Structure 1
Amino acid sequence: MMDVSHDPLPGDAGSPAAQPDDDPRDEPAPFAAVVLLTVAAAAGVMVLGALAPSALNVKFLLFGPIALVVFEIAVHEVWWKRWWGAIPGAVLGLAAYFEGRAALADIVGDGWAHPVAYVTAWALFAAVFAWASRYPRTLA
């Protein structure tokens, strides 16, 4: 005799509700795009600060790259439970900024220490955030 297995169709009464194979919440933040755009925004803030030092204040230093990351989250619909990476990203970024700025000031001077540490800190923040956005996955 032939064993014919019959998989229930999605509309059958006895089968569970049909689940889409690709849950849009499982799409992580695009790593390269988030990191490169955040670095470009941070570098742009530093260039603008060099061209117009009076326009550069703490709010502006934080607003540009953060607005870009929020835009990426909104555009790519990263699931809110996957934003947890912003916390360790911020901690590592701040540590890299303050420790890196102090170390770089001894090597390249104060003039270059701030911009290099600032861009590096934002790059680290974006990389940690984008990597962490891959977890958790939704339950299938």
Structure 2
Amino acid sequence: MQGTPLQSGHIDFFVNGGIIQPGCMQEGNVLACSHHRAPIYYGESINSVPGFWGWSCSSFWEYLIGRCWKSGNQTIMGEHTDPNMRGIFLVITNSQAEYAMGPYSNTIRNFIKMNNDKLQQIAQILLKDVKIISIK
């Protein structure tokens, strides 16, 4: 991951889980391909008809354990992002141009359900050594 799973701006978008982008597994350098998709997505967002729509989630970790697929609060990512919007948003793309899939729909909901087991496995690996500490 060439980024952070933590909220760092007034609005943060995690695209396709924030790690490996669809279509990059066939490339020689998966991480470079995934990282270089950011400006491609932004460029496409300028004139995209469907748009890169994301749905809200309270945190990246909540997404990893499959708790964010029912959200109805959506916003568009890229050139036309509302500057007053705040929070964390999850975006799913196609594996090749045209990458934008449009607003959150049953198609995206089904995609997320299919990948939920994989996301939960990743979350378990990432969180296995995390200990909750209460400071009083």
Shorter-chain-normalised TM-score: which range? under 0.3
Whose helix proportion is higher, 1 or 2?
A: 1
In the superposition, the TM-score normalised over structure 2's length comes to: 0.27
Name which structure has the greater RCO, CA cutoff 8 Å, separation 6+. 1
Whose strand proportion is higher, 1 or 2?
A: 2
In the superposition, the TM-score normalised over structure 1's length comes to: 0.27
